[in-house]
Structure 1
Amino acid sequence: MAKTETGKVENKIAIPRTKSGSSSSDIDSPCYLHALSPQTLLLATDSGALHTYDLRVPYSTVSPRPESTYHPHDDYVSSLTPLPPSATSTSGFSKQWVTTGGTTLAVTDLRKGIVARSEDQEEELISSAYMGGLPSSGTSVGEKIIVGCGSGVITLWEKGVWDDQDERIYVSRGPGGGESLESMAVVPDDLGVGKVVAVGQADGLVSLVRIGPNKVVTRVRHDEVEGVVAIGFDVEGRMVSGGGQTVKVWHPTDEVNGKRGNPMMYGSSDDSDDDDDSDEENETRRKRKKRKRGKGKDRSGGQHVIALEGID
């Protein structure tokens, strides 16, 4: 959708309805949106439909017609991760993507449709990310899809082998199961910290997990109550986390272990002890109504985080 110089909308796409009729209750609400390329838009809806749109074609608001529609899962799409273009690609844009929904993972091709679907994993798959450039030997090799689960576990999937996961990393533990892993983003390679993924949890923590050794290397707290629903990195290597009414921009510490700008220590590592909290303390934290108000400092007093609060 674009605007002209006069501010008028140049083009817009209407969401297909779940059934015929004019009632607003029939609208199949969108749950996930991803721009695969400048020409292709992917739109997933609550019913589990995944629509592809060619943005070069104008659409009618009366009779919207996607280029194609797929149903990769029995539930709504919880995450979507594009796979890198092949070596023979002439456009340089991805033509395949991985989705998670309910308890399955699926791979869809822009031209061929759904090309693979995993076995039932018997746990909810919530978030995902792609990581390439892993060593050619060892436990985690080549290219992986990293999936965050509702049980607090990361599962690793070898690219091209989509039937089942091949490794598990326990990020969050608890008597009744760990906190769900709501969001994730791969730490940029230019930061020189190795293969690390940042994982936003439902309890407000962000865990940084090193792939290969497959372990949590540090944790920071985004919020005392709200979960981390979005996480990413800006062009300067700062980590950005969002959840509730707060967005935080995390600055790498000036110097850690003799290296400048090491993002492994965003904020304080004091939060790493949170897994040892008692059940009563965890329950108290979840029920707490007063949100922690960030003052631009981490727990160690360093100026490592900017907090933007009260976002509507």
Structure 2
Amino acid sequence: MTFTDRLITWYRANKRELPFRSQRDPYKIWVSEIMAQQTQIATMIPYYNRWIEKYPTVDILANADIDEVLKMWEGLGYYRRARNLHKGAQYVVEHFDSSLPADKKKLMEIPGIGDYTSSAIASIAFDLPEIVIDGNVKRVMARYLNYTENVNARKAHTVFDAFLKQELLKDGASPNEFNQALMELGALVCTPSNTTCEGCPFEEMCACWRGEVVGVVPFVPKAKPVPSYDKSVFILVQDGKILISNEHDDGLMEGLFRLPQIEGHLDKEEDYALVHKFSHLHWNIKAYIVDSVDIHHNWFFVPLEDVVSTHPVVTAHRKILQKLHIL
């Protein structure tokens, strides 16, 4: 059996039943791919289901209020993804008559859609011969080919894309099934922790199975340490209202609300502590429940129920409020 035959046979017998696999709607595939970035599938599925129920079409999403969209996204993090989905939907309505185009280059014109997402939509929704290369596919290919260079470099992408496209076209497989099978294999079998090749359909075809892989494969250069900043957060609740802020002078999470936050830590015991990790920095937060505080010009009170139902709050601060049983 060929590479493709083994892959597809394994996939049909082992694939997970996921809500976005039951149809070919390019809009829904787009949403699922954006949500799955930086988020585990088990975590994103409830968000995906709620999102599709609320915004079942591009037009409905395009006409939605951005604050409502961000509230729907609350808890998933990386809120730029939600903003780009909203902006992208408006672009599709305006430039593509509310239908995502069956063309990779045109898909990449849409805000928030890059090389990876355009390939996913083109292949999974429209069965176009594009290759989807995510972290799972990089791991499968690095081990299969014994590729020892940086898998996140453009060179690796070019090598993997060329190999996989050749296999796809050679056997005339469905790009939809081929790409989903590769990603599923990396998610379920060729995982970071499974280096024994148990359950792999490729067996002797794979360099890792043959024992040729030595050292760390896939290889990713060690990330540079990120800076950490001490922050103090104030929690002030009065008459069913809570003090919040719409500050974003730090350039983080524009459009979201947050608890009043200042630099440094207070010289007193905190009510809760949390380290929140962004991709490029960390917040070392200490939260203090207070009876009063000097209110800055952009701090204001809102009903607690609004924080629950309508006001999107930054993930770190929402976690603090939940841990202290204020929400």
The answer to whether TM tops 0.5 is no
Q: Between Structure 1 and Structure 2, which shows a larger proportion of helix residues?
A: 2
Larger C-alpha radius of gyration, 1 or 2?
A: 2
Give the TM-score of the pair, scaled to structure 1: 0.26
Q: Between Structure 1 and Structure 2, which shows a larger proportion of strand residues?
A: 1
